Structure formats: C-alpha cells, structure tokens
C-alpha cells in the first residue's frame, strides 16, 4: 500500500511537468503581449525591451520554458507578471474561497442526492423513482451559470433574501453553493440509486429479510453502508468537477476564488499566473484522486487486498 | 462497514472546518448600521467609515509599479504629485509645488510648499523629489518622463530647477503623471521598500490590503498639506460585477460605487436616498481606419469620409452606452485645452449612399477588430448593423485588449478598428501618440502625413497662445473632415453612484477619481 | 418457406438487422428516451427551418434601436434585446450554433479518442502506457480552463470552439474505447485472426470495434450534451462565436447586464440550452439501456 502511494506520488511529477508544458505552450501561442499592454503608451522600443527582460520574457520559447521549468522543479512558480507578486502567494490567497465553495457545493449535492437516490432505489419503478430521475437529469442538463442567474433573480432581486454576490458572511455562500451543487447532485443521485439497487439485490440482504429483519432496518443498516462505497469513489471527480465548474460560478457570483483569477490571468496574458494556477489546480486534483483511492482501499478490504499484491 | 460512515462524517467535519476557518479569518469591514457616529453633540456628526466599491482589482500601493486606474485611485488618497489637475476648475495646479516659473521652454524653476509632512513624520524637501526621480529612472512607468530631464539643480531645500533636453511649454503637465507621486527619501532609508512605498503626504494613510477583497486607509491625523478628513477610515472594496455593486449600495453595505451599469442610472437618479454623479469623460471612442493599408479601400480618404457621413452616432450612443455619452463632432476631446467647437462631418445617409456609389463601394466587405470590452463590442455590433443598411458587410473579430494591441501594431492587413484614446489635459497629448508618425507606439491609424506631423510639432513648440490655438484648430479641422483617420463617435459619460448624503466624490475625466474628502454627515 | 442454408454475408446482415431492431424495440419502451429523441428531431427541424425563414443580414445583423427592451408580447414572443432585435428569432436561429458545435466537437473527440483508445487497448504495452498517461495529463486540467487556454491561443471562431471542445473530450473517449477493448484483447479468435495473417487494422475494425460500439455510442450522445454545455460556458465567459452570431451562451452573457429589469433576456436562451442538453442526455440514457439491457434495473 505504502509502495503504491509512493509510486502514485512519483507519477505525479511527469504529469505535472507535461501539464506545465502544455499550458505554457498554449499561453505562449496566444496572441497579445502583456508587456505591450502594461507599458505606457509613449514608451520606446528600448524601454519595452527593458521591461521584457525585467519580466523574464526575453529569449526564445524553449529558453523561456526551460527557465520556467527549472524554477518549477525547485517549487518556484515565479512572479505574476501583472501583479508583481509571487504566484504561489496569490494562489493561496484565493484558494480557500474556491475550496470553500467546492466543499459547500458537495455538501449541498449530498444533502439533495443521497436521500433522493435512496428513495428512488427503494421505490424502484414507482413515480418517486421517475420523479427523482427527472430531477437528477434536469440538474445535469442545466447550464450552471444560468441556474445561478435564475437564483439571483428570485432570491436576491425579487425576494431580497440573499446577497447576489461577494463573499462576506455565511449567507453569501448559499446561492453559489446551491448552483454548483445542483450539477453535482444530478450525477450523485444517479450513482446513489444504481449502487443502492445493486446492493438491495444482494444475497445477504435477502437473507436478512428472510430472517425477519424489518425492511427499514435492512435498508438503513445493511444496504446503505455498502451502497455508499461507490459514492466515495466519485467524491474525487465530484470535487474536480466542482473546481472546474467554479470558474463560471465565481464569475456569476463575484466569488473571489482561483477560477476567476485564472480566467482573468489568461485574459490579461499573465502567463506565469495562469500557468501557475492551472498547475496548482492539477496538483490539487491529482492529490484528491489519490486520497480518494486510499480512502477507498481503506473502506473496502477487497481493494486493499488487490493493492498489496 | 462503520468505516464508511466514519469517513463521511470526517469529510463533513473537514469541510465545515474549512468553511468556518476561511470565513473567520477575514476582517470584513464592520457593518455601517451598527456604528456609533463620531464627534460630540452640537457639531455635525460624520460617519466613521466610508466604503467605496471599485470594479477593478487594486494590486499595489507603489505608484511606480503600474498605471492602472484602480491602483491610482487609492494612491491618489495617500500620495501627492508635484502638480495635479484641480477637478473643480480643471486647471493644472501645484499640489506639492507652491509655484513655478518657466524661465525658458527648456529651463523651469519650481518651489515646493513649506512644512508638508509625510506619514512617517518627516518634512518634504527637494531631496525627496531627487530621490523619487532617481528611483523612477529605470521604472517603465516613469522612465519616459524622467528622461526628458537633462539636469536637475537643487537651489535650496525647497527650490529646484530642471533643464530639459527639448523645450516643452507644458512641462508642468508632465509632473502631474500619477506614477511620479513623491516618495519619502527618509522612509526608504529606514524601512524595507514595501513599507516605504506606503509613505506619502496625502490625507490618508495606508492601513491594510486583503488581495481580491479590499484595501483600507485611515486618516492622517498630523496631515499638514490638507485638512484632516472628517471620516476616520476609507475602504475600497473590490466588487467586479456592476449588478453586485449596485445591490451592495442599495443595501447600505457600501457608500459609493464606481462605474454603475447604465441600466441602473435611472434607479440611482430616481431613488430617494441614492444619487448618480456624472461627468463627461475624456476618452474619445472612435472607429479607426488603417490609412496605410493600400490593399483596402479604407486607405482612400473619400471612402473614410463617406463612412463618417453614413454613421448615425446618436444611434450608436444608445446602443453602446444607453444614451449616456456625448456625441463627438471633432477628433479632439471636449474638455481639453484648445478644443474648438467644429461641426465635423454630419450624419447624412443620402450623401453617404451617393459617395459610396461613386466609389463603387456597395457590397464590399470590411474586417473590423476590437477588444471584448462591453461598449466596444456594442459599438462594433451597431456599426455592423448600420453598415448593412448601405450594403456593406462588416466582419467583426473581437479579442482581449492585449491581443488587439498586438494586432494593431503588427498586422498590416488591419482595415477598421474600434478603439478609444484618453489623452492628458494638454493638447499635444491628443495628437502626438495616435496621429504623429514618430509619436510612439499607438499610431494605429498609420496616417503618416508629414504635413500633419510638422503641424503637431510646431504647435507644441509655439509659445504664443493665439497662434497655438489657430494651429490646433487647423489640426482638428483637417483631421476630422479631410483626412479622417478616425470617425470620432462619442465621449462616454463617467458615472458614480453614491448614497445621497456622501460628499467629496470627484470624477476625473482620465478615470483617476478623487476621494480625498469623501464624507457623510449623519443626522 | 424457410431457407435452410445462409451464406456468411446473409447471416451477418441478418444479425445486424436483428440487433438494430432489438435495440430499437428496447429504446421504444422508454418514454423519456422517446421524448428525448422527438425533441432532438424537432430541434434539427427548427434549425433547418430557421435557416430558410430568417435572413442573416436582415434578421440577425440588423438592429432596431427604437424598439429595444420590448417585453414579451404577441409580436415578439420572447421580447426584444438591447438592440431591439427579436429574441425568439435569435434563439431559433442560434440553435444552429449549439447543435453544430455539439455534434462536430463530439465527432472530433470521438474519432481521435476512439482511435487512440482502440490502439491503446489492442496493442497494449508501451503504446498503451503512453496514450493513457497523455490522457491523464489532459484530464488533470479542468476542462473549462483547458478550453479557455485553447480558445485564447487560437483565437475566437466557431471552428476553434469546436476544435477546443473536441480536444477537451478526447481522453474520455480514449478511456471508454480502451476499456471496451480490454475484455476481447486476449480472446482466442483474435489470436487466431492474427496467426492467420489478417492485418491489424482489419482485426480492429471487424472484431474489436464492434465490441466497443455500444459504450461509444452512449458516450457520443452524452458527449453532444456536454459539448453544448461547455460551449455555452465558454461563450458565457466571453470566448465563443464572434458577434452578432446568436449563440445561446453569448446571448445569456450579454443579457446578464440587464438581468434586473429585463430578466427574460437571460431566461429564454438558458431554457433553450437546457432543453437541448436534456434531450441529448435522455437519448443517451435510453440508448445505454437499450444497448445493454442487463444494465437496466
């Protein structure tokens, strides 16, 4: 198991280097020059060349990338070109807000989807099943930024109950978390339902029923626990989706997170900040996947046995 | 299988913890409703804290770091310039300078104000100016200004002279550049740089900056240059969305908001406790042509004139600014020195049709590029719709500002573009960069007209103001009606929304709005 | 009369027909899947009709500033926008963009992804490792950010949008295809074919691909739905089809400014996106169940 974890950690390094290359290359290809944008309109060519050097943007693409990668291997993501501060600092100033939103949305998603999924599975092929599946499907199909706008219209503008944006206080997270959670809930409901259905048909439940254990107890004591395992596995991808989805949602709700930061970094051609943010996103995402795998092995002995082989 | 439940519980706890922690470590400006007013009874009571919602991100207090208006607005509260535009009279006046004298166009003498105190307690003298200019020599935001100076002569503690490489009768305007704010030499000798740049002479002292959230200032009690503000704390909070800013203002979370959405203008002006503050901006928004693209019809001045006749500017102002802009008739901006109120090229669709027919330009296709800023996209879309009425197809390509500038600089095939130009106060600024062929990097119209170049140079060096005025009028008329490198559309109205009782908010035509005396009397 | 002997070709055709008809029989049983199919067909009809009825230059480009912000009425069922353009005309005309982006981008990712997946699954070893690791790299980057980066690198146009979204979903197809190939890779009949000198390409097409078909088909329908959603997100963030193309995400984004007073400007384009995505999702679900009845519970 330990060996497996170490192996996974080591495998992250080439992946991250490759991500840095892909993103750096794409950003370099993008037309537009941050130096030209930041220089005063009456700057001369010499002054611009001076700025370029100051920002570490001189030389050919391989030279620049090599310089960047050397620093990256030392754990240095460089300085933001537009904000003139270390990328890593800027990222971590904004990251808690995104994490807060992502976790908030997952809580919302779980609150909605687990009961809904169980209800659908236990009332298989009833109207309840159909209704919850349609709800799940709607959640999956709705563009989340649109849902966000609709919620703003209803709860902020018409009813005036909740703030339409910003990040002060508990109230302001409610709408963005619901918006982002709704999309995750769609997926989670479907998975809860199918995994519950699978478990319900298992022999040991049939035995339990035969022994006269009440249906309620069968469901909540025996079935639910086993059905939750697959849900944990998709926790990682849910978190990943939440982080990705946060990009649009943060824009809708003026949430001061990294998603919005990354988009504005890309737009303002702040290469180091954009590349740094995407690399950090990837690190976080990969780490979550790893943690989920470990957790999965921990809760399911069958998998643990596989790893130790 | 208890483990599953345990895992889920742990997860919930962790996420709650994260939510709580990151929610708690922020020092959110306190709720204005719970504040007690300051001052004793009898005197007017002032609200302790004024919160201003800004749209763009504040990033640094160092005036030499960037020229972004969002930073300069805050820096303007904490730091001062040698000269500055008085926003009430729109004249260039001394700020730290008491008086000046132009001995020759290339030889100027300045005298600083006495007893101006920095936030660190030291008193302003010529050494601080020398230090600031020295620091600015190799900063990209200031080097262009500093390099104008040949010699800097310290006469006494408060008097200095500068000799310039070339004569400049408007040199006092150069010192009004926000990046040339005077810093304290002593502060840089005693503190680390990131602390020392916070020290200025303004009525506000830097307090705290939470990136992406807010920057706060406290009043400078020992201020000698200005009266000590009645407000104790000034907070600039970053709220990028116009609608969120508006709602925050309506809910009383903030006292003033920058650039409200045009759709909220009516709501602001009709509200009983809010107000809309307006000022015509100095940004000239225009449809520009790449005059040297000889492969395209846009290189023909007759065609450019026809387009100028064809555009209904009033309609474009409604489409792009919901009507909140002043239609331009001249290429020059209205509030500038030497502006002449010329008629320009009027909207005349019949004449335009006739001219286009003569030029055989019906059914042609033009390519237009612009940035993705909302009003530019709207101008471009409206231009597209208007041109379609003359049988001209316009392909619009929009991109980020950085990409646009690069395209304008490098792509010889550019035909038409939508852009704006916000010059400083003095007339030379209007023409030198965008029109003069040696003027800098932004001559995207590529007019390359030696007569015009000579006229711009002559006007800048002319000491006689009557002659100067004639030259600038000639420039205006020739550029607007004869050469037409741009079709000037409008100068957008600058706006701010505020609580009705908040005073001391001054809009700056160049977007560096002033909040030095922002206050609110509480009844 | 029943024929006693069939040629191999006839048998194959017979088998194919029966599979198709069985899938269709299964598919028909699900009302939601049928609803999805009907909506998709209607959407395609609407798209074609809108191209015929409306003229791009007069109905899409032209503005009518005097009639801006008209609330929904009989004359303008969805109201008019900030340029006085009819929102319904734009929504109907705009179906073309969403549908074409969804379909073309999925075609790109399906072709590239499935090929890579089949190659990886069939050859195994180093090739498989390289392909899988590359997929991992791209899957590590949140798809929307990758999309934004590609869009800003290659500029904004319909083609780049299709290409960007197509590229984003390549790894998903590769994984699906590879997973479907794995179970048959070591089967004896493949070995036999190899030994008898049948070319790899032929083996992949005749023996391997059919096994991967059903998950790929499901992935395609779901992919169209995802592609439309991602495209609208990108347009919403300002990286989409150039103006004045009435792409739904872009309409939403420009209507957002007026959300307080004219919320119908954001409502209708969003509804259109949702209905389209929902229809493709329902179809995908139905297909999954129909193709693999065992999965249906």
pLDDT range class, residue B154, cuts 50, 70, 90? very high
Question: Is A146–C266 a contact, with Cβ atoms under 8 angstroms apart?
Answer: yes
Q: How is residue C252 written in tokens?
A: 């939403």
Q: How is residue A237 written in tokens?
A: 């991808």
Question: Is A266–C149 a contact, with Cβ atoms under 8 angstroms apart?
Answer: yes
Please, which residues have CB within 8 angstroms of residue B311's CB and are 6 or more apart in sequence?
Answer: B287, B347, B383, B386, B487, B489
Q: How is residue C262 written in tokens?
A: 């004219």
Nearest-CA distance B355 → chain A (Å): 36
Q: Which residues of B touch C83 (CB under 8 A)?
A: 319, 381-382, 385
Q: Which residues of C touch B264 (CB under 8 A)?
A: 260
Closest chain C CA to residue B242: C257
CA-to-CA distance for B33 and B49, rounded, in angstroms?
11
β-strand partners of B107: B104, B163
Closest chain A CA to residue B141: A40
Q: Which residues of A touch B19 (CB under 8 A)?
A: 100, 103-104, 173
Q: Which of residues 240-259 of C touch A (CB under 8 A)?
A: 249, 252, 256, 259
Q: Which residues of A touch C147 (CB under 8 A)?
A: none
Nearest-CA distance B243 → chain A (Å): 8
pLDDT at B247 over 60: yes
- Residues B155-175 have pLDDT tens digits of 999 999 999 988 888 888 889
Q: Which of residues 213-272 of B touch A (CB under 8 A)?
A: 213, 238-241, 243-244, 247-248, 251
Show which residues on chain B lie within 8 Å of chain C, measured between beta carbons: 242-243, 246, 261, 263-264, 315, 318-319, 322, 372, 374, 377-378, 380-382, 384-386, 388-389, 393, 395-400, 403
- DSSP letter at C256 equals G
* Averaged pLDDT, B226-246: 88
Question: Is B242–C257 a contact, with Cβ atoms under 8 angstroms apart?
Answer: yes
From the list B18, B65, B401, the residue facing A84 with the nearest CB is B65
From the list B263, B393, B396, the residue facing C242 with the nearest CB is B396
From the list C62, C242, C260, the residue facing B398 with the nearest CB is C242
CA-to-CA distance for B500 and C187, rounded, in angstroms?
81
Nearest-CA distance C154 → chain B (Å): 11
Looking at residue B394, its pLDDT comes to 93
| CATH number of the domain where residue B107 is located | 3.90.76.10
Average pLDDT in chain A = 80
pLDDT range class, residue B39, cuts 50, 70, 90? very low
Mind giving me the DSSP string for B97-127? EEEEEEEETTEEEEEEPSSPBPTTS-B--HH
Mutation target to probe the A interface, by most A beta carbons within 10 A, among B430, B441, B445, B456 is: B441
CATH fold, domain A87-307, is: MetI-like fold (1.10.3720)
Q: Which chains touch B (3 or more CB pairs under 8 A)?
A: A, C
Looking at residue C6, its pLDDT comes to 65
CB atoms under 10 Å from CB of A69, counted, come to: 14
Q: How is residue B452 written in tokens?
A: 């015009």
Q: Which residues of C touch A251 (CB under 8 A)?
A: 236-237
Q: Which residues of B touch C261 (CB under 8 A)?
A: 263
- Of the candidates B437, B141, B473, B457, the one whose C-alpha atom is nearest the C-alpha of residue B339 is B473
Q: Which residues of B touch A31 (CB under 8 A)?
A: 399, 402-403, 406-407
Question: Is B19–A100 a contact, with Cβ atoms under 8 angstroms apart?
Answer: yes
Residue B315's φ and ψ, nearest 5 degrees, are -65, -40
* Averaged pLDDT, A176-189: 88
Mapped onto helix, strand or coil, the DSSP state of residue B357 is helix
- Of the candidates B80, B88, B165, the one whose C-alpha atom is nearest the C-alpha of residue B129 is B80
Question: Is B381–C244 a contact, with Cβ atoms under 8 angstroms apart?
Answer: yes
* C281 contacts chain A (CB < 8 A): yes
Q: Per-domain residue ranges for chain C? A: 29-55+80-290
Angle, vertex CA C187, rays to CA C181 and CA C189, nearest 5: 115
CA dihedral B131, B137, B141, B145 (to 10 degrees): 90
* A278 contacts chain C (CB < 8 A): yes
Mind giving me the DSSP string for B23-50? HHS--PPPPGGGPPP-S-TTSPEE-SEE
* C48 contacts chain A (CB < 8 A): no
Please, which residues have CB within 8 angstroms of residue B474's CB and are 6 or more apart in sequence?
Answer: B455
Statement to judge: residues B325 and B176 lie in one domain: no
Residue B178, domain member (yes or no)? yes
Looking at residue C10, its pLDDT comes to 67
Q: How is residue A176 written in tokens?
A: 């963005």
More confident residue, C237 or A229: C237
Question: Is A145–C274 a contact, with Cβ atoms under 8 angstroms apart?
Answer: no
Mutation target to probe the A interface, by most A beta carbons within 10 A, among C132, C142, C238, C257 is: C142
Looking at residue B32, its pLDDT comes to 43
* B439 contacts chain A (CB < 8 A): yes
More confident residue, B284 or C294: B284
Question: Is A281–C153 a contact, with Cβ atoms under 8 angstroms apart?
Answer: no
Nearest-CA distance B135 → chain C (Å): 36
Q: Which residues of C touch A144 (CB under 8 A)?
A: 233
Query: pLDDT 10s digit of each residue in chain C, 297 long?
Result: 455 566 666 666 666 667 778 888 888 888 888 999 999 999 999 999 998 988 888 888 888 888 888 889 888 889 898 888 999 999 999 999 989 999 999 999 999 999 999 899 888 889 988 898 888 888 878 888 888 888 888 877 889 999 999 998 999 899 888 888 888 777 788 888 888 888 888 888 887 888 778 888 888 988 899 899 989 888 888 787 877 888 998 898 888 888 888 889 989 999 999 999 999 999 988 888 888 755 443
Q: Which domain holds residue B365?
A: 284-492
Mind giving me the DSSP string for A238-270? HHHHHHHHHHHHHHHTT--SHHHHHHHHHHTT-
% of chain B exceeding 70 in pLDDT: 91
ipTM for the assembly:
0.82
Question: Is A31–B407 a contact, with Cβ atoms under 8 angstroms apart?
Answer: yes
Q: Find out if CATH 1.10.3720.10 is the number for domain C29-55+80-290.
A: yes
* Averaged pLDDT, B183-188: 94
Q: Edge-to-edge strand order for the sheet containing B97-104?
A: B97-104, B107-112, B159-164, B149-154
Least confident of A209-213, B74-78, B140-144: A209-213
| CATH number of the domain where residue B388 is located | 3.10.105.10
Nearest-CA distance B503 → chain C (Å): 28
Q: Which residues of C touch A14 (CB under 8 A)?
A: 133
Residue B489 vs residues A7, A41, C64: alpha-carbon distances, Å:
63, 22, 19
The answer to whether the CB of B316 falls within 8 A of the CB of B386 is yes
From the list C140, C154, C281, the residue facing A285 with the nearest CB is C140
Residue B250, domain member (yes or no)? no
Question: Is A84–B12 a contact, with Cβ atoms under 8 angstroms apart?
Answer: no
* A22 contacts chain C (CB < 8 A): yes
Domain count, chain B: 2
Q: Which residues of A touch B14 (CB under 8 A)?
A: 103
- Residues C205-260 have pLDDT tens digits of 887 888 778 888 888 988 899 899 989 888 888 787 877 888 998 898 888 888 88
pLDDT at B502 over 70: yes
Q: How many CB pairs under 8 A join B and C?
A: 61
CB atoms under 10 Å from CB of B210, counted, come to: 16
pLDDT at A302 over 50: yes
Q: Which residues of A touch C131 (CB under 8 A)?
A: none
Question: Is A197–C270 a contact, with Cβ atoms under 8 angstroms apart?
Answer: no
* A134 contacts chain C (CB < 8 A): yes
Q: Which of residues 216-245 of A touch C (CB under 8 A)?
A: 240, 243-245
Nearest-CA distance A159 → chain C (Å): 12
């Amino acid at each position: 198991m330990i060996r497996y974890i170490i192996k996974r950690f080591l495998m992250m390094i080439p992946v991250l280097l490759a991500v840095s290359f892909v993103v750096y290359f794409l950003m370099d290809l993008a037309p537009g020059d941050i130096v030209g944008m930041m220089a005063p309109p009456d700057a001369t060519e010499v002054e611009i060349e001076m700025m370029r050097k100051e920002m570490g943007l001189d030389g050919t693409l391989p030279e620049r990338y090599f310089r960047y990668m050397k620093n990256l291997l030392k754990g240095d993501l460089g300085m933001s070109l537009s904000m003139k501060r270390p990328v890593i600092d800027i990222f971590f100033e904004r990251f808690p807000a995104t994490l807060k939103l992502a976790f908030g949305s997952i809580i919302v998603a779980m609150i909605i989807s687990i009961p809904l999924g169980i209800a659908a599975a236990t009332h298989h092929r009833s109207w309840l099943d159909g209704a919850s599946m349609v709800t799940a499907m709607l959640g999956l199909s709705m563009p989340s930024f649109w849902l966000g706008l609709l919620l703003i219209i209803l709860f902020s503008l018409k009813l005036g109950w909740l703030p339409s944006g910003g990040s002060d206080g508990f109230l302001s997270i409610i709408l963005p978390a619901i918006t982002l959670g709704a999309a995750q809930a769609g997926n989670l409901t479907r998975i809860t339902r199918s995994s519950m259905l699978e478990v319900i048909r298992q022999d040991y439940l049939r035995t339990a029923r035969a022994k006269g254990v009440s249906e309620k107890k069968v469901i909540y004591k025996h079935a639910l626990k086993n059905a939750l395992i697959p849900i944990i596995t998709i926790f990682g991808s849910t978190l990943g989706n939440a982080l990705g989805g946060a990009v649009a949602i943060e824009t809708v709700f003026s949430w001061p997170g990294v998603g919005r930061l990354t988009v504005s970094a890309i737009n303002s051609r702040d290469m180091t900040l954009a590349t740094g943010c995407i690399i950090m996103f990837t690190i976080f995402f990969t780490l979550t996947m790893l943690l989920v795998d470990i957790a999965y092995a921990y809760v399911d002995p069958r998998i643990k046995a596989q790893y130790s082989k | 299988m208890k483990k599953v439940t345990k895992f889920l519980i742990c997860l919930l706890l962790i996420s709650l913890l994260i939510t709580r922690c990151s929610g708690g470590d922020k020092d959110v400006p306190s709720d204005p409703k719970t504040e007690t007013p300051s001052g004793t009874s009898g005197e007017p009571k002032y609200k302790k804290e004024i919160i201003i919602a800004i749209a763009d991100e504040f990033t640094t207090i160092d005036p030499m770091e960037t020229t972004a208006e969002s930073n300069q607005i805050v820096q303007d509260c904490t730091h001062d310039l040698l000269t500055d535009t008085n926003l009430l009279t729109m004249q260039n006046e001394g700020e730290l300078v008491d008086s000046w004298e132009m001995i020759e166009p290339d030889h100027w003498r300045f005298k600083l104000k006495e007893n101006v105190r920095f936030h660190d307690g030291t008193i302003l003298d010529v050494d601080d100016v020398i230090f600031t200019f020295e620091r600015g020599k190799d900063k990209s935001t200031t080097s262009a200004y500093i390099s104008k100076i040949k010699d800097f002569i310290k006469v006494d503690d408060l008097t200095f002279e500068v000799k310039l490489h070339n004569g400049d009768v408007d040199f006092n305007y150069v010192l009004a550049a926000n990046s040339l704010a005077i810093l304290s030499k002593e502060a840089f000798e005693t503190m680390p740089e990131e602390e020392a740049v916070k020290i200025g002479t303004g009525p506000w002292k830097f307090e705290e900056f939470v990136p992406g959230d807010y920057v706060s200032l406290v009043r400078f009690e020992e201020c000698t240059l200005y009266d000590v503000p009645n407000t104790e704390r000034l907070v600039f909070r970053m709220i990028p969305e116009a609608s969120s800013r508006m709602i925050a203002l309506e809910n009383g979370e903030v006292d003033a908001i920058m650039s409200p959405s045009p759709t909220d203008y009516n709501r602001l002006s009709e509200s009983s406790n809010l107000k809309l503050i307006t000022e015509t901006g100095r940004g000239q928004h225009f449809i520009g042509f790449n005059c040297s693209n000889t492969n395209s019809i846009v290189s023909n001045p007759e065609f450019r004139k026809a387009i100028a006749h064809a555009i209904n500017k009033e309609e474009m102002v409604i489409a792009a600014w919901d009507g909140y802009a002043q239609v331009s008739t001249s290429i020059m901006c209205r509030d500038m020195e030497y502006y002449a109120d010329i008629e320009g090229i009027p909207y005349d669709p019949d004449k335009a049709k006739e001219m286009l027919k003569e030029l055989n330009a019906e059914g042609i296709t033009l390519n237009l590029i612009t940035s993705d800023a909302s009003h530019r996209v709207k101008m471009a879309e409206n231009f597209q719709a208007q041109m379609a009425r003359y049988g001209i197809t316009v392909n619009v390509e929009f991109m980020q500002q950085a990409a646009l500038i690069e395209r304008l600089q490098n792509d010889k095939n550019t035909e038409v573009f939508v852009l704006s130009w916000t010059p400083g106060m003095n007339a030379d600024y209007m023409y030198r960069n965008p029109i003069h062929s040696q003027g800098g990097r932004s001559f995207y119209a590529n007019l390359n007209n030696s007569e015009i170049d000579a006229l711009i140079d002559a006007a800048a060096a002319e000491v006689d103001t009557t002659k100067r005025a004639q030259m600038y009028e000639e420039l205006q008329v020739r550029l607007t009606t004869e050469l037409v490198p741009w079709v000037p559309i409008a100068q957008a109205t600058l706006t701010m929304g505020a609580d009705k009782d908040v005073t001391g908010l001054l809009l700056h035509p160049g977007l560096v709005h002033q909040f030095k005396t922002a206050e609110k009397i509480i009844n | 009369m029943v024929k006693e002997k069939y040629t191999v070709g006839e048998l194959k055709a017979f088998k194919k027909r029966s599979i198709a008809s069985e899938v269709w029989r299964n598919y028909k049983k699900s009302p939601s899947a049928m609803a999805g199919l009907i909506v998709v067909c209607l959407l395609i009809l609407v798209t074609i009709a809108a191209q015929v009825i409306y003229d791009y230059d007069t109905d899409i480009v032209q503005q009518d500033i005097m009639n801006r912000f008209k609330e929904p009425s009989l004359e303008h069922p969805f109201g008019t926008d900030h340029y006085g353009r009819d929102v319904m005309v734009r929504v109907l005309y705009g179906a073309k963009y969403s549908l074409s982006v969804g379909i073309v981008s999925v075609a790109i990712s399906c072709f590239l992804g499935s090929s890579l997946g089949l190659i990886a699954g069939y050859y195994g070893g180093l090739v498989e490792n390289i392909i899988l690791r590359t997929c991992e790299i791209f899957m590590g980057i949140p798809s929307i950010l990758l999309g934004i980066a590609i869009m800003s690198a290659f500029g904004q146009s319909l083609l780049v949008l299709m290409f960007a979204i197509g590229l984003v979903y390549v790894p998903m197809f590769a994984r699906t295809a590879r997973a479907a190939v794995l179970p048959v890779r070591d089967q004896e009949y493949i070995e036999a074919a190899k030994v008898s000198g049948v070319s790899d390409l032929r083996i992949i097409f005749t023996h391997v691909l059919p096994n991967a078909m059903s998950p790929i088909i499901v992935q395609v329908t779901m992919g169209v739905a995802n592609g439309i959603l991602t495209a609208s997100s990108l347009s919403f963030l300002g990286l989409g089809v150039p103006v004045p193309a009435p792409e739904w995400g872009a309409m939403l984004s420009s209507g957002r400014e007026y959300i307080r007073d004219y919320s119908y400007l954001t409502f209708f384009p969003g509804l259109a996106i949702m209905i389209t995505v929902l229809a493709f999702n329902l179809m995908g679900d139905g297909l999954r169940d129909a193709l693999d009845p065992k999965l249906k519970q």
